[in-house]
A and B are shown apart, each in its own frame.
Chain A
């Protein structure tokens, strides 16, 4: 089997095809400290792409509450369990990737979810978070457990928005015996050819993130297309621009050794290393990078985001001291355009449009505050708060 280099795990690994990186890799950053699970992203995606027959329970974008929320049910704990122990030696992953752990006769270690695993997205997953009075002192909850669970950890949780990671080494692509899945040379976006797919669902089985979905009406599998018609016009995808929490930024990402410190994606991912891949140990080199939730126990974060997570949490906690870091993070949700560079100008950050090189956006560090007098002299009336 050919060897390819995966920088996220710091080593070469087995992959069924020779390594061929795209000319540019489209990537995302999601700041998990800011997501409020409003599901606007989910609905933005659904109305844009998956409102048709056969797509009823298909969520190319979903937001789940960790640690007990999953869509489809148990997606990550199941594959983590199948993979077994995952060890790191510093920044090098010494365990097996999903390609290396594949059984004989399979391209990748995986499983096909059961039908009911897709049946109840989000149902009940928040019920166990610390609202109970168990262990309460004088009627005040101590936050030590969940409403239904007796043996759980201290009360913490976070929302995890998920889309296809447009992986550098996609397991969906590696699993498709018909070669119906391709990774575009121009931007690294991974697509299922809808004229060629025969609905075998080996991609559904092979993708550890469970991002391809079977459509029982067309009998083909479908997945997130990174809103490529937008991207081709220099615009960020729907789930990014619609995000209420402004937690998302999307653009092109360089390889670590070619990082441009003035490019917001490169700067946050490679230079500051504040945004990290989800389950890098799977070996797919996923291209959605998460700013980890800083209040979550480090063991859990390490399993989910790898050994760089502690430094990332520290960097994020200190972001208020670093104007450039703050500036880059203020670009999230500030423009529909894909940016190629940013710079700080006095107390503003300026984002440069990737396509035309012009100024796409200018965001002040602090929004100006205006205090209006209680009485409006112009109309001769008091300003009551009657809204």
Chain B
């Protein structure tokens, strides 16, 4: 009789082990599908940018790379794109807020996969990579230049290279040394007395500077990580070997990421971003100017003469649907910021749009606690993750950097 009891117990244990998944199968089919959708191998090839006809021209990319690293592309000759977008630091600068000619109010964004964004900057105040590249050039806190000075500089330093790509430079001999609709009072005054055709000539050279820099930046793409090797093995049913094998903690973190912690809701796809804007209750930084995020940026991108609907776009306006159908106002874009990619994030603290959090642990703790937003409404709800769960999420995030 004792034997019957023990046989029953054994049977029960075996059935539970089989059905409960105590053995090898660690992920459900739904989880496997989600994990596969985040693997770098599912990233489609980069689509052509019809708004920039030089986007895939090697000579434009070469000139763009020269300009990207050239400190001559600034008011005082000390700042280039690469000052903040450091080539050996994932094209970011490790600072809570970028420092160019002055101290800005936003965290420098890394550039891997940047050409795939529909919107640029944390708040999406530009709608193309080439229009984005023009913005720091004239921002008094970044490169602090002005478009007339840039046009003269291009003619003097790179005239021949420019003309081989973009055709003849306009006659700039009567263009003031410094003039811009966005500059100092003197620069604005100088701009306003220029003939419309001359303003157009300068704007055209200026737009082409952006198009060359964008052509270069298109080559900066995300790299395969441990997570991607793990995901490929999981999808093909191979046993992950070596560094592709995940520790139990990393597996727990991945399960939380795509499950209970809801991270994958916004950090989805192979770039771990939905390319959209969300208020997640990230607190403002004391001492910085008021920052309302997307709600102000929508008006800025609409007013930008270099936006997709402006006259400096190449190709037809079918490329402008993001701008055409963007959400322009409403409570949901108050203090909303773009979902950043998480690839490489573990190696580039601090985090958030103004470097509010100095570690991934702080970031995860923020989302677990989900404090209300100072303005607008946070979309995040408290998760009350345990210490072990928060540590597991951080461990998983690190697999996106190795």
Q: Please determine whether chains A and B interact with each other in the same assembly.
A: no
Interface residues of A (CB under 8 A from B): none
